[in-house]
């Protein structure tokens, strides 16, 4: 039997994604109605964190418990992972004692090597290159507020980082457009983003032009985890790439604002935008829980409907 992993957004087909969004809606409604739903009783999720997290840890751990299973947290500091045990060996052992693994780590290569040696599905909880669970939640949030994302325009303002790369992959699979504006020197790297082509995104030197008429404006921190040494330089380079009220004014009148969080008010986004009428960041954060429950159900049980 082939194991299905979720290491990048385009590991799932359009059909599979639509199925997962449909399941998310149902799973979320059950949760809101306090209905018990335990399809994963006796299943164990291992969560491996090599970087910090609030939302990812909480949503996976709570989500697994809400599905009747249990979750175990490991980090680099107090496991053998931080002391040089080969990732291939760790994968062999961890996947013999669990049913599902979620990893947050540095290079994508680490999670790929883990998955190649795993007996159970592996989920990417963020790497330097991608953050696929985040974009599942973001797109589900868009659909809840505005309906299908197909044909819509998403403006990405700021760093062409893991979250940006994942938006670009998602645009190809779900057929929407991304208008990207980064400072010079931080442009999209299509190979790193692992894109099929360049038909679903366009780069803009001026962030205002990227935001113009967008259905969704989104951004992320200027310095991602693992790149802290570049922080000072990035603060200077990104100074003109803040999403503020003027930028939201050129987007569509009913444009949404999203941010994967944690956010830095006064840097990549102004306080009046993230706390303002366009912002759906709390729904977006909550939806991590619901989409990941649907994802775990799918990876472990396949289609149940």
Residue numbers annotated as active site: 104, 131, 134, 220, 260, 288
Q: How far is the CB of 235 from ligand NVA (least distance, A)?
A: 15
134 makes contact with ligand CP (CB under 6 A): yes
161 makes contact with ligand CP (CB under 6 A): no
In sign, the C-alpha dihedral spanning 216, 239, 285, 122 is: positive
Q: Toward ligand NVA, which CB reaches closer, 99 or 220?
A: 220
Q: How far is the CB of 260 from ligand CP (least distance, A)?
A: 4
Q: Toward ligand CP, which CB reaches closer, 124 or 153?
A: 124
Q: Toward ligand NVA, which CB reaches closer, 8 or 98?
A: 8
Q: Which does 54 bind (CB under 5 to 8 A by kind): ligand CP, ligand NVA, none?
A: ligand CP
Q: How far is residue 285's CA from residue 304's CA, in Å, rounded to a whole number?
A: 26
Residues whose CB falls within 8 Å of the CB of residue 81, separated by 6 or more in sequence, listed in order? 48, 50, 74, 75, 87, 90
Asked if 219 contacts 269 with a C-beta cutoff of 8 angstroms, the reply is yes
Q: Toward ligand CP, which CB reaches closer, 5 or 131?
A: 131
Cα-Cα-Cα-Cα dihedral of 236, 240, 243, 248, to 10°? 180
Interface residue with ligand CP among 61, 72, 261, 286 (CB under 6 A) is: 261
Interface residue with ligand CP among 260, 269, 274, 281 (CB under 6 A) is: 260
What 3-state DSSP class applies to 185? coil
Q: Toward ligand NVA, which CB reaches closer, 43 or 55?
A: 55
Asked if 20 contacts 298 with a C-beta cutoff of 8 angstroms, the reply is yes
Q: Toward ligand CP, which CB reaches closer, 220 or 297?
A: 220
55 makes contact with ligand CP (CB under 6 A): yes
Q: Which does 163 bind (CB under 5 to 8 A by kind): ligand CP, ligand NVA, none?
A: ligand NVA
Asked if 17 contacts 279 with a C-beta cutoff of 8 angstroms, the reply is no
Residues whose CB falls within 8 Å of the CB of residue 49, separated by 6 or more in sequence, listed in order? 56, 57, 73, 74, 75, 76, 104, 125
Parallel, antiparallel or unpaired: strands 177-181 and 70-75? unpaired
Q: Which does 220 bind (CB under 5 to 8 A by kind): ligand CP, ligand NVA, none?
A: ligand NVA
Residues that bind ligand NVA (CB under 6 A): 126, 161-163, 220-221, 224-225, 260
- Cis status, amide bond into 262, omega within 30 of 0: yes
Neighbours of 205 (CB within 10 A): 11
Q: How far is the CB of 60 from ligand CP (least distance, A)?
A: 9
152 makes contact with ligand CP (CB under 6 A): no
Q: How far is residue 272's CA from residue 24's CA, in Å, rounded to a whole number?
A: 30
Cα 120 from chain centre? 21
Q: Which does 161 bind (CB under 5 to 8 A by kind): ligand CP, ligand NVA, none?
A: ligand NVA
Q: With contacts defined by CB under 6 A, how many residues of the chain interact with ligand CP? A: 8
Interface residue list for ligand CP (CB under 6 A): 53-56, 126, 134, 260-261
């Amino acid at each position: 039997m082939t194991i299905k992993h979720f290491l990048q957004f385009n590991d799932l087909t359009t059909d599979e994604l639509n199925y997962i969004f449909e399941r998310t809606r149902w799973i979320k409604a059950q949760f809101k109605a306090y209905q018990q739903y335990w399809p994963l009783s006796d299943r164990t999720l291992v969560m491996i964190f090599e970087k910090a997290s609030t939302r990812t840890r909480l949503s996976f751990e709570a989500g697994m418990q809400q599905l009747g299973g249990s979750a175990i947290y490991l980090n680099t500091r107090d496991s053998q992972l931080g002391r040089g045990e080969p990732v291939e060996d760790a994968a062999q052992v961890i996947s013999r004692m669990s049913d599902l693994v979620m990893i947050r780590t540095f290079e994508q290569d680490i999670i790929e090597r883990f998955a190649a040696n795993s007996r159970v599905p592996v989920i990417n909880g963020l790497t330097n290159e991608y953050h696929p669970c985040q974009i599942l939640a973001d797109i589900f949030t868009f659909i809840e507020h505005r309906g299908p994302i197909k044909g819509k325009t998403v403006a990405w303002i700021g760093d062409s980082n893991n979250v940006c790369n994942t938006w670009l992959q998602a645009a190809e699979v779900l057929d929407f457009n991304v208008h990207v504006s980064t400072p010079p020197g931080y442009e999209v790297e299509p190979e790193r983003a692992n894109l099929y082509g360049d038909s679903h995104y366009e780069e803009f030197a001026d962030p205002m032009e990227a935001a113009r008429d967008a259905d969704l404006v989104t951004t992320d921190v200027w310095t991602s985890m693992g790149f802290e040494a570049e922080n000072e330089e990035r603060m200077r380079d990104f100074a003109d790439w803040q999403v503020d009220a003027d930028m939201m004014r050129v987007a569509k009148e009913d444009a949404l604002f999203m941010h994967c969080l944690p956010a830095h008010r006064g840097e990549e986004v102004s306080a009046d935008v993230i706390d303002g009428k366009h912002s759906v960041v709390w729904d977006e954060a909550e939806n991590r829980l619901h989409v990941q429950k649907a994802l775990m159900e799918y990876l472990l049980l396949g289609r149940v409907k």
